[in-house]
A and B are shown apart, each in its own frame.
Chain A
Amino acid sequence: MQERKSRFTSLSGFDTNRVYSHHDLKDWLPEEELGAPGEFPYTRGVYPTMYRGRLWTMRQFAGFGSAEDTNRRFKYLLQHGQTGLSVAFDMPTLMGIDADDPRAHGEIGHCGVAISSLDDMERLFDGIPLDQVTTSMTINGPAAVIFAMYLAVAEKRGIGLERLDGTLQNDILKEYIAQKEWLFPPDPSLRLITDTITYCAEHVPKWHPVSISGYHIREAGSTAVQELAFTLYDGLTYVETTVKAGLPVDRFAPQLSFFFNAHNDFFEEIAKFRAARRLWAREMTRRYRPSDPRSAQLRCHAQTAGCSLTAQQPMNNVVRTTIQALAAVMGGTQSLHTNSMDETLALPTEEAVKLALRTQQIIAQESEVTNTADPLGGSYYVETLTNRLEEAALDYFRRLDEMGGMVRAIERGFPQREILDAAQRYLREVERKERIIVGFNEYVEPEARQIPILRIGLEVENEQVARLSDLRKSRDSFRMVGAVEALQEAASCGENVMPYLIEAVKAKATLGEICLALKEVLGIYRDPVVL
């Protein structure tokens, strides 16, 4: 029988055979490569019972408009069965810029919530019990400042910091690599991350101070291999920096978490999650010899691939998201966000978000895939893919080592160029119809179906600017200036900045003011132009 194509390849470009068998797994010892779920090297999952014990956390990323708007969306999601919060900040906040900065004009509240001060943070979490929910905050450049605001809100409400649970993305390396939202140069940025890790180890032990993220690397166009390799190498860089700063590995490594993309190639994605766990366990053990087994366990959040969604025939996105979410679950994720069908057009509407959440609930409650740990373990194909992904990632590790580590590689534009080349290869494949995207380059319909989209009015910006102006007038400016100067002093002499940041936000210094003060001490960065 003639085959449909001369060559079958995975989304990352691996040649795929007609069938896989024991011949593909020669010298492959399951006790070494797999172990049991909850046992080294954790290929089959980090917990012995996996979803039989506890389902993954259903965590929908949300944020738009004002703090009140987002607070309402949070309460809506919690009412509909969501089990954790995840804050999306707007572009000015992500860049450490206040709402009344001219560069922020037109961007307030558009792709997340606008937070410029402690007052905004208080309104964002109004009526939400911080000691009973887990909160994830997607912020990187100014992560330490936003975290200080969150801690200050808890303190004000009399909640002990040791009771707070959640995640700060705080992964600056992938910003230089892919998402491009940084404030300071790489080396001082790494120091701020070490400060948050150290502060958490001492004061906020349940918190996850860094979520080492491949998601954005993949969205920028990388392959699954690049996502895996660059993300884990970023993670090893944070561990190395923190260990060098004097914190023993077991004091912080168990609190590191990861964040991966769940893309279209079902089996390759499952293999990616499995390879990530095995690779992390092996590298952490080899490099740092931790005594706490949790230091070598990779726990992760996953989000379905935004870049796989199409503006054309948006309802099709529900189906894509379902397949991707299923891959993340079969891959053993601890937490999941499913994208909404309208996200190539604007931020999602309430209805679209609910459907995305229902998708997870259907997988969790109806498909019965949760009944057993690592259901594809032992599959000739999935094990072969897992091996290949691990080997290919190790190959990147060697190249990065040779370049002198990730920061040096970033300065040379290496990961940036690798990703751009992969994005271009993919685009060509789609344009040549070597890859079919339903409704986009095949089964195309002339008229786009209109779906309702969420609009952010300019009144959000006006309100936010007015609030900030009130804050600047009403605060004790002597106290504020004193706190900011103390922060600069701490930053320049290498003290941990976290306590000073908390004081500064409590003195009502704004996000923009704090970030500007830190830039004076830590410097700014322009990336190499990679084309």
Chain B
Amino acid sequence: MAVASQPLRILIGKVGLDGHDRGVKLIARALRDAGMEVIYTGLHQTPEQIVNTAIQEDVDAIGLSILSGAHRTLFRRVLELLKEQDAEDIALFGGGIIPDEDVPTLTAAGVKALFRPGAPMEEIVTFVKGLKPQG
């Protein structure tokens, strides 16, 4: 039995206070359509809730959407919590309204990828698929 045949499990969530969920839901649908198991958290999650759910659900990656400008604080907090919980094997990626100059700092801190308005869905799906090597 090849372990790699297990579908990827991805937590998709909205962290923070903003309720703009058009993008995140379309991404959740696209990942699901690509054969992944998608756990969608719904709105207004705290970083603590996100990390706890991610661990409980044993996901391979967390994808977060933030459109309120609070990305610098929130992504860092999720990374810290993953570290505290010894769950750094869970990859973190995200998207939203994120200015160019914030991208290098966040990726240096450990965010695997950041997708901004207009990122093609195919690119996001390909990126997520690449998170787990197929064997």
Contacts and interface: CB of A to CB of B under 8 A. Distances in A.
Interface in B69-120: 69-70, 72-74, 97, 99-100, 116-118, 120
B18 interface: yes
Interface in A100-114: 103-107, 110-111
B21 interface: yes
B25 interface: yes
A45 interface: no
Of B17, B18, B43, B70, chain A has the most CB atoms within 10 Å of the CB of: B17
Of A106, A344, A530, chain B has the most CB atoms within 10 Å of the CB of: A106
Given A312-B118, A345-B99, A431-B121, A181 B69 contact: no
A107 B68 contact: yes
Contacts of A221: 22
A391 B97 CA distance: 37
28 contacts: A91-B18, A91-B68, A92-B17, A103-B46, A106-B16, A107-B17, A107-B68, A107-B70, A110-B68, A110-B70, A175-B19, A179-B19, A179-B20, A181-B19, A307-B22, A311-B117, A311-B118, A345-B99, A347-B69, A420-B22, A420-B25, A423-B22, A423-B26, A424-B29, A427-B26, A431-B122, A527-B43, A530-B25
A465 interface: no
A206 B122 CA distance: 51
A263 B59 CA distance: 39
A94 interface: yes
Interface string B37-66: 010101110100000000000000000000
Contacts of A95: 17, 44
Given A220-B21, A423-B22, 11 more contacts: A95-B44, A106-B16, A107-B69, A179-B19, A180-B19, A311-B118, A345-B97, A347-B69, A427-B26, A431-B121, A529-B40
Given A181-B19, A345-B97, A453-B99, A311 B116 contact: yes
B111 to A, nearest CB: 15
A456 B22 contact: no
B128 interface: no
A440 interface: yes
B28 to A, nearest CB: 6
Contacts of B20: 179-180, 220
Interface residues of B, number: 33
B25 A531 contact: yes
A223 to B, nearest CB: 14
A132 interface: no
B103 to A, nearest CB: 12
A231 B117 CA distance: 26
Contacts of B122: 431
Contact of A106 (B74, B99, B117): B74
Interface of A: 91-92, 94-95, 97, 103-107, 110-111, 175, 179-181, 219-221, 307, 310-312, 344-347, 420, 423-424, 427, 431, 440, 448, 450, 453, 456, 526-527, 529-531
Contacts of A346: 69, 97, 99
B69 A456 contact: yes
Nearest to B75: A106
Contacts of B43: 180, 527
A214 B48 CA distance: 34
Contact of A526 (B19, B32, B42, B73): B42
Nearest to B74: A106
A304 B18 CA distance: 21
Contacts of A312: 118
A211 B32 CA distance: 37
A310 B118 contact: yes
Contact of A531 (B28, B44, B46): B28
A526 to B, nearest CB: 7
A111 B16 CA distance: 13
B9 to A, nearest CB: 16
Contacts of B121: 427, 431
Contacts of A530: 25
B22 A219 contact: yes
A105 B99 CA distance: 19
A103 B77 CA distance: 12
Contacts of A307: 22
A111 B68 contact: yes
A8 to B, nearest CB: 25
Contacts of A91: 16-18, 68, 70
A529 B70 CA distance: 24
B117 A310 contact: yes
Contacts of A526: 42
Contacts of B118: 310-312, 440
Contacts of B120: 431
Nearest to A106: B73
Contacts of A94: 17
A59 B29 CA distance: 37
Contacts of A219: 22
Contacts of A531: 25, 28-29, 32, 38, 40
A71 B117 CA distance: 30
A529 B45 CA distance: 14
Contacts of A180: 19-21, 43
B17 A103 contact: yes
Q: Give 5 nearest A-B pairs by CB, closest first.
A: A106-B73, A180-B19, A110-B69, A91-B17, A106-B70
A103 B122 CA distance: 33
